Amino acid sequence: MSNPLLKLDGVSVNYGRIEAARAVSLEVHEGEFVSIIGSNGAGKSSTLKAIAGVVKPVAGAITYAGKQVHGRGPHEMVACGIAMVPEGRYVFADQTVEDNLILGGYIHAQRKGVASLRGDIDRIYDLFSRLKERRLQAAGSLSGGEQQMLAIGRGLLSKPRLLMIDEVSLGLAPKVLDFLFPVLKELNRQGLAILLVEQLAVQALSVTTRAYVMENGRITMSGPSAQLAGNPAVMEAYLGKAA
């Protein structure tokens, strides 16, 4: 197999004296769809934040596209080709839907001009037609599902090679998830590498090709998603089935 697009080697994240992630090692290859599953507080989000440059690891190394990138700031990671859809969406509530999307394409617009974003924004509207209907509406007035669509669209407009999504299911109705998970699968089919953090293990394992199980800040298991879905320990702990 070729060298991974993203590689973490022994990455640890602390908040003061609290160890959030301990010696995390994982890989995502070009065009892969990989998930990190685990319960709340397992260290999943802290791992994504370290990759995105939101927090600085206290140990370990992060390599992206063959280059050491740990310690770089969030804007540098976006410029490198990594976009993160954060837990809780964090849309710019007082800005319109379209303004949020334009802000997502800021780095791209710096290089080629705002006018060049028009086609990219229209493609997001094709992907999420509900956003097009609300393009002049304040983002804070959207439903939770629509805000998640907007957050994903905003991330896509930075033209990432790797899209990281933190808890896509948070606070959303099953009907919305039945729409969003296939969208992510289609984006991956088109060649986008995706790293998904998700508590809903059933859904995560059903759409991804490989997965990591995280407990108490550590990776405890990894393998093909189908294999983990059939693992008795995973079934009992995360899928709500008896071993």
**Can you give the residue ranges of every domain in the chain?**
1-81+161-243, 90-159
Q: Are the C-beta atoms of residues 43 and 214 closer than 8 Å to each other?
A: yes
Whether 1 has a pLDDT exceeding 60, the answer reads no
Residue in 125, 175, 170 with CA at minimum distance from that of residue 150: 125
CB atoms within 10 A of CB 129: 9
pTM: 0.92
Whether 152 has a pLDDT exceeding 90, the answer reads yes
Confidence of residue 117 (pLDDT cuts 50, 70, 90): confident
Burial class (CB within 10 angstroms; exposed 0-12, middle 13-18, buried 19+) of 95: middle
Which strands form 210-215's sheet, in the order they lie side by side? 82-85, 162-166, 193-198, 33-37, 210-215, 218-224
Q: Average pLDDT, whole number, for the chain?
A: 91
| 22, containing H or E segment | strand 18-28
Task: Please give the angle made by the CA atoms of 234, 237 and 241, to the nearest 5 degrees.
Answer: 85
Confidence of residue 208 (pLDDT cuts 50, 70, 90): very high
Q: Which pLDDT belongs to residue 243? A: 41
Q: Which pLDDT belongs to residue 242? A: 47
Q: Bigger pLDDT: 108 or 185?
A: 185
Q: Which CATH architecture has domain 1-81+161-243?
A: 3-Layer(aba) Sandwich (3.40)
Burial class (CB within 10 angstroms; exposed 0-12, middle 13-18, buried 19+) of 110: exposed
Q: Which pLDDT belongs to residue 240? A: 56
- In angstroms, rounded to a whole number, what is the distance separating the alpha carbons of residues 54 and 233? 33
Beta-strand pair 18-28/33-37 = unpaired
Average pLDDT of the segment spanning 15-34 = 96
Token code pair at residue 171: 């606070």
